[in-house]
């Protein structure tokens, strides 16, 4: 506990001993409001307060007085009217829809809302009183019910128009049943009706703000040090009730009240956070989105209102951190409220960890190199993962906060994520708020640190064993035998010392002079993929309609070939290279631990998907009209038909309207999982050899992994032109440069991809698009007949200053069309 927190708690004990809690029925022997309490002087009270702090004695909730004060020093009294009424409703100790409506009717008759302001302020500033409010077992208002105003009716009609049933709010009865399932005692509908009336009254709004400011610091301390939720799970009611306030995003709350409230909420134990997430998932889209936007607005407001740098990190901003942790609750609520698949999971690879100490552990670096993916505590409590989500009610992209991504120092954040997770907050623990570009930076730091570590360990081993150090993963290959050479070398490494795969890749083509600073590796990957995906080899099948590859279930190639392509994909991510790979999304979902399902067929096998969809939607007599059985057929590598029984004696079991869903499920499982199990298991094994210790699975969703491996297919050359730098005497205003970009923009799609391949070593854009590519155009002499050249390692184009635009176009086209191989200039 820090000094400021300890001081605040001691002050609360002192005030309790000297002033009491204000509750006339208090039974706490350490409180001045208790009838049996013996008054203490200030010095005695101070000493006693210190003793109570040491033994963690009971602290009462404070019941503030709401009478007008002459000096006006009280924060809550400042919202009250000086008018003294005969009926101040001092007997109201908690709120129900009944008593609120009764007080509202009284105030409207009197033309004065001061009594209502007092009651609202008194209850909303007191944790115990608010916790007891709006219980479901209280009788609802009848004659005094809070009827919606015309404005509220109009708002409800607007929400109804917002979309489909999944976007609508649950009916009253359904929501009540859902709340019962979550063991929540709050009458949510009553709370919403009350807020609809209260928030239209300015004086009440001010009282709510000030009461929240008073309430939350005490709630935060109680949660952090007194374990109040464990003692009484109804403590969660406070957060349920406050979050129903639809004005929390307004400026009145953003300055103080909402930040303090988020800090208190972030102190809830994970069991309470899981209850909140489950409850909110039942609210419907409009309410989940409102809460998401509330926390997002607080994060954005705080970030743009402050300046951050390497010394003043956004990770140290308590408001941003707390709001991000609260946003995580909404994130999982959005997943739970959408379409989820928690059943179809791939079996995890067996853990072959040795009991022997590793060198990393001997050096005290085991925290940096933990094996296996992280597990988020809230994910574990909810029993769900991000990869389980098929369609969340709020798109994942809406949870990304661009303002935050602009100020996060990823090198520092990575250190907190890997080393200081217990004491420092890392935004990588809430990856949903980070863009794929930002997360890729974190992955880059992780990969580079592993490379440097392997290099250092190699040096240590070589010193001990007296051998020549080999700090790189060196591959020497022949162009015309690239698969054989790469397969033999990588297979030896994977068997003898798999950790060598974590070293930085260094490729050398036999007989060529190119030094690998990144560009040679890019061409190596490209050539390997061209060979492996060659239809003549038969490892993969190609769909002319989707332009995608799928594993050939009848391939004659051994598993080592598939392991190689898995290693290649892992090395590409590890070495920050973009590959020209065309897999359906189900491959990346399977790599992340999910099995292929019916929905995955839509992009991997679209014709089959439409056929099975037609079967499921058919309204006629399935048995007689379709004449299908649980025996299916497909063609092998040589075009011969292969029969397969989905169930024992499947050819004797007809497909009917009753069992057609089972037939579809078994059919899909065979096509996407069972039939290619041998090939995919080897492929995944190779991929995990490189990425098993990476935070890849924790940080990225399947579609983001595809983006890491394949890059963006959208080529925005306008963005590339804006970010290109010039050297050797060229500038953006040089005539040759103007001619160059006019020529590039006039190229067709294929020619543009040739140019990218020639200049950067790949025809794909990196994560974030071509605007993230740092290309350099340097002057390479005056007018000449020589062709342009490039350094693909550095994305540098060496361009002679040609005399005419026509000559520039002709020389450039020839260079990019016939470019292959490396040489020294």
Active site residues: 793
∠ CA 410-504-684, nearest 5°, is 85
- The rounded distance, in Å, linking the Cα atoms of 669 and 667 is 6
Tell me how far the alpha carbon of residue 294 is from its chain's centroid.
18
List helix spans (H) across 692-794: 696-699, 702-710, 717-723, 735-746, 749-760
Q: How far is CA 563 from CA 124, 171, 325, 353, in A?
A: 62, 53, 39, 20
**Helices 188-198 & 172-181 angle (0-180, nearest 10):** 120
Q: How far is CA 61 from CA 48, 211, 608, in A?
A: 19, 13, 64
Look at residue 116 and give its three-state secondary structure. helix
- The rounded distance, in Å, linking the Cα atoms of 691 and 450 is 11
- The rounded distance, in Å, linking the Cα atoms of 113 and 120 is 11
∠ CA 262-267-270, nearest 5°, is 115
**If you write DSSP's letter for every residue of 183-210 in order, what string do you get?**
T--B-HHHHHHHHHHHTT-HHHHHHHHH
Handedness of CA 95, 97, 99, 105 (dihedral sign): positive
Within 10 Å of residue 227's Cβ, how many Cβ atoms? 13
Give 43's contacts (C-beta < 8 A, 6+ positions apart). none
CB 343 within 8 A of CB 427: no
Look at residue 699 and give its three-state secondary structure. helix
- The rounded distance, in Å, linking the Cα atoms of 30 and 49 is 9
Q: Retrieve residue 89's tokens.
A: 């409703």
- The rounded distance, in Å, linking the Cα atoms of 333 and 323 is 15
Q: How far is CA 108 from CA 98, 115, 399, in A?
A: 15, 11, 42
Helix (H) or strand (E) holding 339: strand 339-340
Give 200's contacts (C-beta < 8 A, 6+ positions apart). 149, 151
- The rounded distance, in Å, linking the Cα atoms of 443 and 709 is 13
**Helices 114-124 & 202-225 angle (0-180, nearest 10):** 10
CB 391 within 8 A of CB 339: yes
Q: Retrieve residue 578's tokens.
A: 């973009």
Within 10 Å of residue 783's Cβ, how many Cβ atoms? 12
- The rounded distance, in Å, linking the Cα atoms of 135 and 127 is 14
- The rounded distance, in Å, linking the Cα atoms of 704 and 720 is 22
Residue whose tokens read 């520092």: 412
């Amino acid at each position: 506990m820090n000094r400021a927190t300890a001081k605040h708690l001691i002050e609360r004990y002192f005030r309790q001993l000297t002033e009491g809690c204000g509750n006339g029925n208090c039974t706490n022997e350490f409180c001045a409001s208790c009838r049996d309490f013996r008054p203490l002087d200030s010095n005695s009270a101070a000493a006693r307060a210190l003793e109570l702090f040491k033994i963690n004695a009971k602290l009462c909730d404070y019941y503030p007085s709401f009478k007008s004060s002459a000096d006006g020093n009280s924060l809550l009294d400042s919202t009250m009217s000086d008018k003294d009424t005969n009926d101040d409703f001092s007997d109201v100790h908690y709120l129900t829809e009944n008593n609120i409506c009764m007080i509202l009717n009284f105030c409207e008759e009197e033309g004065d809302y001061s009594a209502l302001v007092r009651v609202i302020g008194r209850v909303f500033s007191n944790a115990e009183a608010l916790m007891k409010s709006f219980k479901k077992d209280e009788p609802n208002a009848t004659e005094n019910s809070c009827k919606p105003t015309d404005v509220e009716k109009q708002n409800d009609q607007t929400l109804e128009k917002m979309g489909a049933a999944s976007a609508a709010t649950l009916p009253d009865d359904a929501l009540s049943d859902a709340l019962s399932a979550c063991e929540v005692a709050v009458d949510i509908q009553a709370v919403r009706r009350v807020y609809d009336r209260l928030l239209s009254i300015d004086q009440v709004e001010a009282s709510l703000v000030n009461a929240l400011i008073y309430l939350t610091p005490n709630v935060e301390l109680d949660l952090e040090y007194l374990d109040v939720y464990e003692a009484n799970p109804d403590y969660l009611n406070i957060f349920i009730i406050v979050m129903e306030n639809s004005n929390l995003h307004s400026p009145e709350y953003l300055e103080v009240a909402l930040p303090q409230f988020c800090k208190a909420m972030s102190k809830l134990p994970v069991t309470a956070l899981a209850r909140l997430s489950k409850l909110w998932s039942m609210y419907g889209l409009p309410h989940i989105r409102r809460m998401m936007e509330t926390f997002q607005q607080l994060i954005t407001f705080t970030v743009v209102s402050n300046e951050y740098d390497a010394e003043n990190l956004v990770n140290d901003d308590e408001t941003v951190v707390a709001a991000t942790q609260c946003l995580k609750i909404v994130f999982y609520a959005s997943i739970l409220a959408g379409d989820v698949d928690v059943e179809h999971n791939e079996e995890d690879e067996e853990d072959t960890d040795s009991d022997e100490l590793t060198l990393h552990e001997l050096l005290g670096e085991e925290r940096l190199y933990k094996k296996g993916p992280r597990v988020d505590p809230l994910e574990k409590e909810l029993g769900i993962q991000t990869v389980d989500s098929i369609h969340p009610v709020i798109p994942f992209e809406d949870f990304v906060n661009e303002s935050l991504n602009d100020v996060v120092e990823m090198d520092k954040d990575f250190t907190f994520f890997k080393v200081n997770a217990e004491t420092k907050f890392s935004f990588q623990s809430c990856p949903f708020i980070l863009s794929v570009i930002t997360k890729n930076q974190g992955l880059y730091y992780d990969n580079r640190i592993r490379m440097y570590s392997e290099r250092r360990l190699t040096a240590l081993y070589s010193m001990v064993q007296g051998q020549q150090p080999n700090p790189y993963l060196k591959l020497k290959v022949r162009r015309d035998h690239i698969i054989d050479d790469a397969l033999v070398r990588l297979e030896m490494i994977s068997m003898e010392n798999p950790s060598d795969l974590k070293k930085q890749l260094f490729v050398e083509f036999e007989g060529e002079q190119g030094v690998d600073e990144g560009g040679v590796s890019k061409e190596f990957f490209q050539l390997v993929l061209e060979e492996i995906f060659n239809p003549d080899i038969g490892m993969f099948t190609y769909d002319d309609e989707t332009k995608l590859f799928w594993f050939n279930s009848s391939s004659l190639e051994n598993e080592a070939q598939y392991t190689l392509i898995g290693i290649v994909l892992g090395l590409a991510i590890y070495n920050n290279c973009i590959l020209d790979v065309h897999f359906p999304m189900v491959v990346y979902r399977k790599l992340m631990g999910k099995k292929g399902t019916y929905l995955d067929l839509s992009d991997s096998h679209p014709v089959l998907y439409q056929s099975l969809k037609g079967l499921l939607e058919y309204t006629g007599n399935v048995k007689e009209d379709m004449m299908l059985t649980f025996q299916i057929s497909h063609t092998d590598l040589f075009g011969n038909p292969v029969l397969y029984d989905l169930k024992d004696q499947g050819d004797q079991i007809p497909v009917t309207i009753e069992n057609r869903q089972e037939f579809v499920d078994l059919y899909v499982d065979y096509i996407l999982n069972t039939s290619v199990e041998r090939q995919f298991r080897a492929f995944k094994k190779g991929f995990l050899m490189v990425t098993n210790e990476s935070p890849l699975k924790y940080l990225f969703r399947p579609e983001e992994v595809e983006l890491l491996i394949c890059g963006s297919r959208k080529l925005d050359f306008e963005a590339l032109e804006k970010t290109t730098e010039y050297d050797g005497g060229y500038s953006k205003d040089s005539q040759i440069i103007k001619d160059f970009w006019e020529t590039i923009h006039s190229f067709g799609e294929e020619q543009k991809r040739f140019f990218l391949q020639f200049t950067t070593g790949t025809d794909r854009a990196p994560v974030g698009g071509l605007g993230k590519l740092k290309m350099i155009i340097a002057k390479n002499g005056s007018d000449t007949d020589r062709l342009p050249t490039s350094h693909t390692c550095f994305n540098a184009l060496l361009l002679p200053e040609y005399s005419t635009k026509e000559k520039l176009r002709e020389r450039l086209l020839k260079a990019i069309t016939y470019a292959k191989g490396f040489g020294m200039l």
